[in-house]
Amino acid sequence: MANASASQSSMSTTTSSTTVQLEFQDFSHTTTTTTTSSSSHAASSFSIPIGAKYDARRAIASGGDDDDMFGDNTDRVQLLTEPAGGSRSGGSQSQQRTPSSGSPAIWTLEYYQQFFDVDTEQVVSRVRNSLWPLKNDFLRKIQGRGDLYGPFWISTTLVFLTAMSGNVAHWFATTEEERVTWQYDFSKVSLAATTIYSYVTLVPFAVWLWLRWKVTNSPTLLDVFCVYGYSIFTYIPVAMLCAVPQFQSAGRWGLILTAMGFSGAVLLLNFYAVLSENKSPALMAMLLFVAGAHLALAMAFKLYFFDYAAH
């Protein structure tokens, strides 16, 4: 009886131990299976959008249609894949400067940045063309590719040089007693700015309107601004020379008329080429307006800034 009881007790212990071991193995298997299933499900749930984004970027790079793939997320993909300015990489320079739906607004500085997109070589080449007017191909060379960088800095430089040289010429024209109380005339800066900026903006705008009305293939407004801005470059060295006291009234007249002749020839010959190609009937009236406005600028230089006799 004792042996039977011990044997029965041993069997129950073994059974209980086996049961516990089986339950532990089942629990481990269940946990592992659940974890593996969850990890597999998580991996599959994350693999779908990653693959979709990769395929989408491949489709955009190859020029494919991504509207069907993204729906409302098209703008986000374009924002990430397009460079600043709204133009995709690989396009030509002319295509990148073409206004699009994503271009900056006209009242922002980013909009006008495209008009100053020139390098030093282009600016130097255009300055050279403005100094040699007999070639009369300035408008043809810059056709559709005019800039405002050169005209702005040429005009601004001329404003301050004219005001400074005018004051220096005035100082040399005063006597020793008058120099004690002599003062710099700052009104010359505002007068020079009004004269020069008005000439390089209002006059070319009026010329462009007339060309657009009378000529079939007229230059763009930017090209007309460009040729006017570069044409006054010859006045920069003349403004500095007019401050030299050795140049009296006659010498200054000669300098200013020379600058007027060179810069005026740039305008007249280039506009004559445009008008003659289009066989415009009002050719002479247009050229007279250009010459008259340029003569008025030269007279303003001499009579308002350099009309002094040195003592």
**What pLDDT is attached to residue 193?**
95
Low pLDDT (below 50) residues in the chain: 1-100, 311
CB 205 within 8 A of CB 127: no
**What pLDDT is attached to residue 174?**
85
**What pLDDT is attached to residue 64?**
44
**What pLDDT is attached to residue 215?**
78
Using alpha carbons, select from 59, 108, 107, 88 the residue that is nearest to residue 98. 88
The SS3 call for residue 242 is coil
**What pLDDT is attached to residue 224?**
94
Q: What is the pTM of this model?
A: 0.64
**What pLDDT is attached to residue 164?**
93
**What pLDDT is attached to residue 207?**
93
Place of tokens 């005019």: 146
**What pLDDT is attached to residue 48?**
42
**What pLDDT is attached to residue 23?**
46
**What pLDDT is attached to residue 221?**
92
**What pLDDT is attached to residue 262?**
92
Please give the C-alpha separations between residue 16 and each of 10, 11, 25, 143, 270, in angstroms, as whole numbers: 10, 8, 14, 99, 110
CB 282 within 8 A of CB 218: no
**What pLDDT is attached to residue 21?**
45
Please report, to the nearest 10 degrees, the dihedral formed by the alpha carbons of residues 143, 147, 151, 152 taken in order. Answer: 160
> pLDDT tens digit string along 85-107?
343 333 333 334 444 456 777 77
- Name the burial class of residue 42, with classes exposed (0-12), middle (13-18) and buried (19+) by CB atoms within 10 angstroms of its CB: exposed
The SS3 call for residue 82 is coil
**What pLDDT is attached to residue 203?**
96
**What pLDDT is attached to residue 102?**
62
At CB < 8 A and 24+ separation, what contacts does 284-288 make? 286/207, 286/210, 286/211, 286/214
